Structures are given as C-alpha cells and as structure tokens.
Structure 1
Amino acid sequence: MDPSNPESFNHRSALLSTGRTYHFVDQVPKGYDSKLNPTLLCVHGFPDLWYGWRHQIGPWVRHGLRVVAPDMLGYGGTSKPTDPAEYTTSKTCADLVALLELLEVQKAVLIGHDWGSAIVGRFALWYPERILALVMISVPYSPPARKYIPLEEIIKKAPNLGYQAYFASEQSTEEIDSHEGSFRDLILDNRERKHRLVLTPQEFSYYNEQLSQGMRGPLNYYRTTKLRFDEEKAANLPSHLRDDLPFLFIYGTEDGTVVKPVLEKSKKFIKRYQEIVLEGRGHWLMVEAKDEFTEKIASWLEGLTSLNLERQSKL
C-alpha cells in the first residue's frame, strides 16, 4: 500500500442491496480472521474520496484492523443520483449497513471526517446495534433538532458556515461544473496553502480526475437540511448516543469548522466522550498531521476493552 499510488490498494466495486453501486477499498491484515480482527469503516467528507485515508489504511491494517474506505454516494466510482433526497443520512447510513452486510461484518468501528463525521454520528443513532466504537473528526456531534431551523438561520449564528448556503443552491452546481477545473484547483490548492499540506503531482492528478466527474452529487449533501430533519423527526431518533458506546472526537485548534458552543453541547449527549486536540492543526488532519493522527487513533482503539471483549466473545 503506497499512499502515492492509488492502484496499490485493494479496490472493489459492488451493487448493494440498497440498489446503489459503491466503489471501496477493502484492506485486510495478514492472517485475517473475521472473528478476531475488527473492521474499521472510514467515511470521508467534502470534497474528498476514499483516497483521503491513504496515509492511515496501511498503518491501521498493520495494527490488525480490517480497513474499508468507500467513495461515498456521488463521488468517484460510486453511484451518483441527481436527486438530493437520495443523500440524506438515513439513506447513506443504510448504504453503509448494506456494505457491511456484503462484507459479512456484523459490527464495525465507524470513523468519519467532515460530512463523514455527521454521517457516522447519525449511523450511531439509526443503527446502534451495528457499531463497536465511534470516532468523529473535525465536525462535532450534534443531536437531532426538535425544531426545524433553516440553514440561513444557522449561518446567522455561525457565519463561518456561510459557504454552505452557496453550496446548497442550484447556482453552485451550474457555476462549479462550468468552471470545474478552476474550482478543483482552488479547493486543492487552498488545502495546501492554508494548512501547509503537500500534495504530490500524482495525488493532485488523482483528485482532479475523480472530481472531474461532476460536483452535483457532492453538493447534494448540502441540500438535505430539511429532508434530514423530516426523516429524523418521523423516526423519533434519540438525542443521546448509546450509553456504552466508546466515543472519540479529534480536531485541530486551527480548524474553523469546530464551533466551540456546538462542541460543548455535544458532550451532554455522549456518556463515554473522549477527545484529542491537535495543537496548531487545521481541518485536513489525515494529511496535515498524518503520523500523529494515525497513531493516536490506533492507540485509542487498542485500549478499548469493548473491542477486546468483542474478540473474546467470538473465540
């Protein structure tokens, strides 16, 4: 597994029981035993790919974890429906469960970054029986709203999220797709300059190639605010995570997406809350702090009694 070479990973593609085709990387450790080696399901955010985990997959596999990293709906080699209603967290979580069923994995550790963090947080509510531990990165847990608050109102309270209103508009798809090369260059270049990242020419080329398939799918996630509220209200989702669920939130002190009031509020709904704060780091921790980030999460997982008990129960 060479992070600079996407083809060095084990790629798979499958039609799931939900009717969507997902492309994913599925990497298993040596001597893999489904009864002894936990599965880590990695969920990327916007605008990213399975490739966002390229620096973590190898080390985590060497720690004895099976690592599964899909291109999420709308990205890369995965289905790209045009209707925003297909991108709600209830449907993307159903896809993830279908992926686990395809892999014959009953329970997994869920880890998500950015939009992926929001998705895995909801996975723990929609499918609490399918999750061993939860790691959220850069976007804090937020409980289901009991009252619908339009995105415009949210932005008034958190102006740093103003870009979301533009992404949620139809105008954004038209403008971004008509200037797609410029947008991709801007996003990728901004990652480098703002957070001191270094993308090799090969990495930059891979992202450009994959994102050139169109941005409607990735942008559709921002168009689901009311749809998600309606689904969660109808299902009467709980606010609290499962009491015995091991939970880790990891973020950088220079990450503008971590809104402190939201972070403090999240702790009220998570009994086993733990956090790791990376000083001087920004939003793209998987690359910006790849070694420290990778090892801290591996160490946290190795220290979980629940994972050890899960292994022992299957002996």
Structure 2
Amino acid sequence: MDPSDPLSFVHKSTLLSTGRQYHYVDQLPPNYGWRYQIRPWVERGYRVIVPDMLGYGTTDKPYDVGAYTTKRLCEDLVALLDHIGVRKAVMIGHDWGSFTVSRFALWHPDRIIALIQLSVPYTPPAPEYISVEEMARRYSNFAYQVYFADPSSTQEIEDNLFAFWSRVYRKPGSGHGILSPGSRKLAMALDDVLEPDGLLLTPQETQYYRPFFEGAMRGPLNYYRTARLRFEEEKAANLPTTLPASLPALLIWGTEDPTCLRPVVARAHKFVPSLREVSVEGCGHWIMIEAKDAVTQTVLDFLDSVNLLGERPVAAKL
C-alpha cells in the first residue's frame, strides 16, 4: 500500500441492494483523500473500507438531487456493510462525509460502534428549515455554499476545474478564496491557476484526479442542493437531536479551518455527550493531508481507548 500509488490498494466494485453501483477499497479510493491513513490503520489490525461516495470516482453519479440526501446515502452504506458481511463499523468521515456519518448514527444507531468526525462538527436536526442563504447570512464563511447550491455553478466549475482546485486545495492563510471578493461568483476571472506554492495537491495527484472530475462535478455539488430534502426527511422521521451517551465520539479539527467555526464546535458537546475534541493548531480544512500523522495517530489512540466489543472492527471511511 503506497500512498503515492492508488493502484497499490485493493479496489472493488459492487451493485448494492439499493440499486446503486459503488466503488470501494477493502483495506485508496479515486477521491484520494485518505491515502495516508489506510496503511497504518490496516497494520494495526483494522479492516478499512473506503467507499467512493455517491457522485464521486467510479461510484454511480445520479442526476437527481434527491439521491444525495443523507438518508439515502446512509441506506447505501448499510447496504455496503451488508454486502461485505459486517454488522457494525466505526464510521469515520471528513466534510460531507463527517455530516453523513453523524446522520448514520441517527438513522442506523444499531450499525455503528464509534463515530469519528473531521473538520465538520455534529449539528442536530433542525426544528425548522434553515436555507443555505440564511446560513450564509448568519455565517459569512459559508457564502461559497450558496454558490455551490446554485445549479449554474456546475458548468462554470467544470470549465475552470484546475483553477477551482488551486483555490480549494490550499493551505490556510493563502488569502485566496473560492469566490470573488464581495460577490457570489467564482473567482476565476482574477487569475486562471494560482501559483503552486501552498497547494496541497502535487502535479501527480492533480493528474490522477482529472478523469474522475472532468465533466462530472454535478454529483459532488448536488450534496449542497439537498438542504430542503434533508430537513423534510429528518422532520418526518422525528430523528433525535442528541447522540447516545454510550456512543464513543471523536472530533478532529484544524484551528485555521474557515468552515469549522469555534461556536459550532463548542455547541456540539451539548448534543454529543461522549465527545472527545482534538484541535490541531495551524491546520486548515484538509486536515487528513495537512496533519496526516497527527490524524492517523489520534484515531488509533481513540480506538485503543474505547470499548470496541473486544474485536478489531471495520473502519468505514467517507
């Protein structure tokens, strides 16, 4: 398992009982984000399953926004666990993966052993619908989500893919945002591709990503277009707001991540009684790359410290 060579990992693909084709690794996925953690965790005796989430890599990319609600995504994850013959798993996620695994703990509490979130802290189901526009009004750092939620953003991002990546995958403090200052338009007009200094992707990694995202950004952006649908599903199911005190939970976040707000981190403790919080000073959003060793070891230490039913479970990572 060589983090620089995705083909050195065991890749599999299957048609799930939900009717969707999923790609996953049974121990680097085309989304490539977890490449530094898989081998150390496997070497500690964990079976690591890394699915390309819906809309990514070689997993199905449905056009319909409704396919991307967390309820539907969690149904796919249950079907994947059923396919590989695993009853319960440690669920680990970053960004939308973090939000999804937190909802997995609500939709399927009998299928999760422990919850590990990166960069996006737990937020409870809302009693009333809050639009993406309203969230951006309350928290100006979320203005990019309004742009992503607009269907017209898909084509613009696909037409400027490398310039888009050069702004998204950067170390903190670069001063280069996704949107033009004072507007909700992509900042591509300012320059095509930023200088490589500060980028988190090597040229090799960028080339590896390319075929999976060219002309295929609708799926990833659809996640931002599900707010109303997610609210309606959660409201209809009357999901609980608080996670069980018996569920071991860990949050790892970077102190320089503009999308991980300290008040939201603090509020998560109210709804996750067992939450352990680890902040990594000076790190931004892509914490499993920026602080790869710290993330790897923090997760191992956490798993070693909690009761995992006397077994080495599957660690399913999103």
Distance 1:15 1:60 in 2: 27
**1:239 paired residue number:** 241
How big is each residue's C-alpha offset from its partner over 1:17-69, in whole Å with a ceiling of 9 and x where there is no partner? 00000011111xxxxxxxxxxxxxx9xxxxx9541111000000011110011
Counterpart code for 2:110: E
Q: CA deviation at 1:104?
A: 0.3
For 1:196 and 1:301, locate their aligned partners in 2 and report how far apart those are by CA, in whole Å: 32
- CA–CA distance in structure 2, aligned partners of residues 277 and 186 of structure 1: 23
CA contact (8 A) 1:117 1:137 kept: yes
In the alignment, which residue of structure 2 is the partner of 1:262? 264
Please provide the CA RMSD for this pair. 2.0
Q: CA deviation at 1:265?
A: 1.7
Match of 2:119 among 138, 142, 165: 138
Check if 1:81 corresponds to 2:62.
yes
- The match for 2:276 is 274
2:15 aligned with 1:12, yes or no? no
Q: Judging changes above 3 Å, is the alpha-carbon distance between structure 1 residues 160 and 66 closer, same or farther for their aligned structure 2 residues?
A: same
Where in structure 2 are the equivalents of 1:1-315 lying within 5 Å? 1-27=1-27, 49-188=30-169, 190-191=170-171, 194=174, 196=198, 198-305=200-307, 307-309=308-310
CA shift digits 1:48-107 (9 cap, x unpaired)? 954111100000001111001111100110000011111000000100110000010000
3-state SS of 2:71 partner:
helix
SS where residue 152 of structure 2 aligns? helix
Deviation by residue 1:163-185 (Cα, 9 ceiling, x = unmatched): 00000001101212233343344
Aligned residue pairs total 291
| CA displacement at 1:273 relative to structure 2 | 1.1
SS in 2 for 1:206: helix
Write out per-residue CA displacement over residues 232-277 of structure 1, whole angstroms, 9 at most, x where no aligned residue: 0000000011220000011011111111222222111111111111
Letter in 2 for 1:236: N
- In structure 2, the gaps of 5 or more residues are 175-196, 314-318
| Unpaired runs of at least 5, structure 1 | 28-41, 43-47
Residues 1:311 and 1:69: Cα distance change in structure 2 (over 3 Å): closer
Equivalent residue number for residue 38 of structure 1: none
- Cα deviations across residues 177-196 of structure 1 (Å, max 9, x unaligned)? 233343344434x3598494
Question: CA separation in 2, counterparts of 1:193 and 1:251?
Answer: 16
Distance 2:286 2:293 in 1: 13
The answer to whether the Cα contact below 8 Å between 2:31 and 2:56 also exists between their aligned partners in 1 is no
3-state SS, counterpart of residue 23 of structure 1: strand
User: Alignment identity in percent?
Assistant: 54
Question: Which whole-Å CA distance do the structure 2 matches of 1:308 and 1:283 have between them?
Answer: 32
Q: Does the Cα contact within 8 Å between 1:155 and 1:161 map onto a contact in 2?
A: yes
Q: What is the TM-score when the length of structure 2 is the normalising length?
A: 0.87
Amino acid at match of 1:11: H
CA distance in 1, matches of 2:17, 2:278: 36
Q: Given the superposition, is the C-alpha separation of residues 193 and 154 from structure 1 closer, same or farther in structure 2, using an over 3 Å criterion?
A: closer
Aligned residue for 2:277, secondary structure, equals strand
Q: 1:304 to 1:164 in 2, by over 3 A?
A: same
Which structure dedicates a bigger proportion of its chain to helix?
1
Q: Name the CA shift for 1:60/1:311 in 2 (closer, same or farther; >3 Å).
A: closer
Q: Name the amino acid aligned to 1:293.
A: V
Displacement of 1:311 in angstroms is: 6.2
With over 3 angstroms needed to count, the CA separation of the structure-2 counterparts of 1:159 and 1:192, relative to structure 1, is closer
Higher RCO structure, 1 or 2 (CA under 8 Å, sep 6+): 2
